[in-house]
Amino acid sequence: MPITVKDLIQSRQELTLVTAQYNDFAQTALDKMRENNFSQLPVLGKDDKLIGIITNNFVLNALQTFEIDINKLRISHSTDKKVSVCKEDDDLSDVFTDVKRYESVVIQSKEGQKPIGIITIFDMLEFYSQRAENIILLNNIETALKDHIKCAFIGKEVELKEAIDREYNQTSQKLDQFKKALKHYKNIENENTYNEE
């Protein structure tokens, strides 16, 4: 079962969507970014429809290009309209490709063009690091157990191999028994289905 954008959203419930309005001043967007420790915001137009995205860098580029004071620069002058979007049900690994390319992806509602969130590179790293933490811990436990077992069998390599073979054989036998039981259960289910017809 693939990991979806919704899984990431649920893991980051403390975050609220902060947006900028297309006709506001750029300083307003910069203030919102600074207050929330964000580097970018979705830009909305009429009816809260997504128009693009504004970042710190886009504002700096616009200031240099237009050579005007920050208090006169509007969000419309520093909005990138090439924005990547996704839906809640999209596979997160597919979205990750766009996040790497565009540095962010805006999550849109199923109904239309209204944004409900934004995914940045930081969000992806945070999400995957949380998921990987348990795997890393299990790997550390497995490595520690192997080291303890090797210490217990120092100079007894033959006995260690015999113990491993014995454990492997017992596990194989149990797996075979499980497969037989599963096959038996499946046959009973098929008979019951046939009798009901």
pLDDT digits (tens, 9 = 90+) for 27-80: 999 999 999 989 899 999 988 889 999 999 999 989 988 888 888 999 999 999
- What is the crossing angle of helices 92-102 and 121-152, to 10°? 120
Q: Which of 27-36, 80-89, 110-119, 140-149 has the lowest mean pLDDT?
A: 110-119
CA–CA distance, 156 with 169 (Å, rounded to integer)? 20
Helices in 18-71 by DSSP H: which ranges?
26-36, 56-66
pLDDT (0 to 100) of residue 193: 64
Confidence of residue 183 (pLDDT cuts 50, 70, 90): confident
Burial environment of residue 167 by CB neighbours within 10 A (0 to 12, 13 to 18, 19 or more): exposed
Q: Residue 24 is encoded by which pair of tokens? A: 């506001």
Give the pLDDT mean for 145-152.
87
The phi-psi region of residue 155 (left if phi > 0; otherwise alpha if psi is between -120 and 50; otherwise beta) is: left
Which pTM value belongs to this model?
0.65
Strands 20-21 and 115-120: what pairing?
Answer: unpaired
Contact 30, 59 (CB under 8 A): yes
Q: What is the dihedral of CA 66, 69, 75, 76, to 10 degrees?
A: -30
Which DSSP letter does residue 67 get? T
